[in-house]
A and B are shown apart, each in its own frame.
Chain A
Amino acid sequence: MFEVPSLSDLNIAATLPVMSLVLGTCILLLADLFVPQERKQLTAWLAVAGLGVSLALSLLSLGDVTRFGDGDEAFAGMFVADTFTDAVNVIALVTALLGVMVAYNYLERTGTQRGEYYVLLLFTTAGVMFMGAAGDLVVVFVALELLSIPLYILSGFRRPQEASEESAMKYFLLGAFASGFLVYGIALIYGATGTTGLHDIWIAVDDIVAGDATSQYLLLIGAGLMLVGLGFKVAAVPFHMWTPDVYQGAPTSVVAYMSVAAKVGGFAALLRVLAAGMPHFVLDAGAPAAWQDTVWLVAVLTMLLGNLVAIVQNDLKRLLAYSSIAHAGYVLLAVAAAGSAGLADESAQAVVIYMMAYAFTNVGAFSVVIAVEKDDASNTGVTSMRGLARSQPWLAAAMALFMLSLTGIPLTAGFVGKWFVFKAAISADLFFAVVVGAVTSLISAYYYLRIVWYMYFEEGDGEAVIPWPLAAAISIAAVGTLFLGVMPYLLTDMAREITLAFGG
């Protein structure tokens, strides 16, 4: 007979950070009805409050002050509440907080101020958090849609601008196409293992490794198709083609958020599936996991294409789009490292450190673009940076810091991220990929430092609009970038605790 499950049966306390965010979003949705149009900053503040509560809970849990619920699993294994989940939550929530801060005045001056913006942004954040906590492929799939669908809408938020609407259309069609691949992959994995639970898959992989070739190939192709589906989301080559157009067309405040959030969700789910679910899926005894070669090959292609094409870009948003493709390659390198025996945790730590650094740096860089962008979405060319150092010295200094961090210069957060990614990859003997990574980092210095050159050594009017929430967001991002770079042990001490609940 069916029993109604109680909340403690479900261990719902373990899901507190994300559940509080979902609840807060629903309240925000209702509260926004009563906020008059000319006072929408109230909605933005309420969104900040909702995110803040959730962030505080995640930090408490991550800092081991309190653990919510008992054990690592909630909803009978559907939700994994380990330290990796906490770390993903923190990154997603920090990104969302910065995303709300940069959005408010931007929406105001482009005439698209609507309360739904913040509601959809918070829903997306919940999607990212669910993806990071997924203990079942069903959750991966549904959470990916919760992440994507609001982002499709947000990309088209800047009506009636054609570029924005078309970017939403493009993002939607390619996103739906990609989820088709993802779910086909899930179906094949279900066929090979007879389950969709990641823990059960982890158990089943041992039988498959010892078993016949058919289910091995089914599992391999299933994992490959999932890589395709998630590769679209994180903008890995050859599934990157939507990125420059969508980033250029979508409102810059949305791009600042989604360039980080979609990646965090995608990589978290990729780690859950590959590193936690099937790290021991080997075709020859003693060899690394069967999916490792594919992942590092994709990583190499992504790093090469992203960095090389970025050189010829003359629009800041397009340049940062190719740069974000390139950075997806570096993170994929860390994911590939998880395929070697015993490296799953180290690779998860590298991904978390990299994404944390990338969150501050990239949101910061896009915030500077927001500051120089005109109300009609023009003036985002590289040349708009000319003379910025004279007219806005602090803004230029922050931008220079972000550019150095994206390059990976020591004493910035980007360096720490790259260091740990390369370290994990070297432990996994992926020397060729590491060499490619190092060389492409050098190449990337050209186009990042070109922007610094424009700011400091060329004449221009360097106009910028910096209302205080945007200034605050840029400051937080700059301080975060600098702090993590100068005192990396703050991050690495925290990251050392990060483990995936099973696998390894």
Chain B
Amino acid sequence: MDITIQHGVFVIFTLVTLGSALLVVTVRNLFHAALYLMLCLFGVAGLFALLTAPLLAGFQVVIYIGAIAILIIFAIMLTPQVTRVIKTTNAQWPVAIVVAVLFFVMILSVVSPLMDELGVDDWNADFTQEDADRVPDSTLTDFGESLVSRDRFVLPFEIASIMLMAALIGAVLVVSPDAILRRDESQPPPSDTSVSADTGASGD
């Protein structure tokens, strides 16, 4: 196997990804864990770029790091006591290690026969070294068209948009004002009119 510069870059991204992933699940300070999560997501973005999927690498940075990780950091800062936890793991952590290692070994044993030059020799015979070197010419246009063209992903695209709307309604509902209003159970529940006034879901 020729060692190319790609291998070096791969090793770097892998170390970044797996190293920071380990820190995410072990460090005590949640805020630090979230920052390591961002680093890990950057590593994954690098792997995407290495796999000639620059579009997904971009998505990864914009959506995962830019939105989801930031959202997590917001949540951590809005729940300050959480970061002062003394114990990070529950009593089952040895079992968790065993389960995780077993899962890894299971996948490894399936993947191990592929460990040859390209990893696909006895499996996808059409895939040759030339294919490996040629960058696939899929573009942003292809990607966008496949989301809306008739023989591709229109239906999941539509279901995903309904799902996002349901999630949006749900998230707003969960944190909507009447939860704050009634959070103290010692207070009497508000009358119907006050509920309808602050939900924003009434027309009167």
Task: Say yes or no: A150 contacts B203, CB within 8 Å.
Answer: no
Distance, CA A123 to CA B173, complexed state (A): 15
- Assuming the A-B contacts A5-B150, A116-B169, A138-B153, are A149 and B203 also in contact, with contact meaning beta carbons closer than 8 angstroms in the complex? no
Residue of A nearest to B153 (CB): A138
In chain A, residues 193-218, which have Cβ atoms closer than 8 Å to a Cβ of chain B?
A: 194, 212-215, 217-218
Nearest-neighbour CB distance to chain B for A24, whole angstroms, equals 12
Task: Say yes or no: B150 contacts A114, CB within 8 Å.
Answer: no
Instruction: Kindly list chain B residues whose C-beta atoms are within 8 Å of the C-beta of A153.
Output: 169-170, 173-174
Number of interface residues of A (CB under 8 A): 52
Partner of B204, one of A36, A116, A130, A214: A36
Nearest-neighbour CB distance to chain A for B193, whole angstroms, equals 7
**Chain A interface, >50% SS class:** helix
Task: Say yes or no: B149 contacts A159, CB within 8 Å.
Answer: no
Residue of B nearest to A31 (CB): B203
Residue of B nearest to A149 (CB): B167
Distance, CA A127 to CA B167, complexed state (A): 13
Distance, CA A36 to CA B170, complexed state (A): 20
Distance, CA A115 to CA B199, complexed state (A): 11
In chain A, residues 1-45, which have Cβ atoms closer than 8 Å to a Cβ of chain B?
A: 2-3, 5, 9-10, 22, 29, 32-38
Is A143 positioned at the interface, with any CB of B under 8 Å from its CB? yes
Partner of B159, one of A35, A74, A114, A142: A142
Task: Say yes or no: B179 contacts A160, CB within 8 Å.
Answer: yes
Task: Say yes or no: B162 contacts A123, CB within 8 Å.
Answer: yes
Is A183 positioned at the interface, with any CB of B under 8 Å from its CB? no
Number of interface residues of B (CB under 8 A): 44
Partner of B183, one of A78, A126, A160: A160
Task: Say yes or no: B160 contacts A142, CB within 8 Å.
Answer: yes
Is B130 positioned at the interface, with any CB of A under 8 Å from its CB? no
The 8 A CB mask of A316-327 against B (1 = contact, 0 = none) is: 000000000000
In chain A, residues 368-412, which have Cβ atoms closer than 8 Å to a Cβ of chain B?
A: none
The 8 A CB mask of B129-152 against A (1 = contact, 0 = none) is: 000000000000000010011111
Is B106 positioned at the interface, with any CB of A under 8 Å from its CB? yes
Task: Say yes or no: B154 contacts A5, CB within 8 Å.
Answer: yes
Partner of A214, one of B122, B154, B162: B122
Task: Say yes or no: A149 contacts B154, CB within 8 Å.
Answer: no
Distance, CA A212 to CA B192, complexed state (A): 67
Distance, CA A142 to CA B196, complexed state (A): 33
Task: Say yes or no: A221 contacts B185, CB within 8 Å.
Answer: no
Apart from A75-B150, A136-B155, A156-B174: 17 A-B pairs, beta carbons within 8 A: A35-B203, A38-B196, A75-B155, A76-B152, A78-B156, A115-B201, A116-B169, A120-B169, A120-B173, A123-B166, A127-B163, A139-B156, A142-B159, A153-B174, A159-B179, A194-B124, A212-B122
28 A–B pairs (Cβ distance < 8 Å), ordered by A: A9-B150, A33-B203, A36-B196, A36-B202, A37-B192, A37-B199, A37-B202, A37-B204, A38-B192, A74-B155, A76-B150, A76-B152, A78-B156, A114-B199, A116-B169, A120-B166, A123-B165, A138-B153, A141-B156, A146-B162, A156-B174, A159-B182, A160-B179, A160-B182, A212-B123, A214-B110, A217-B110, A221-B110
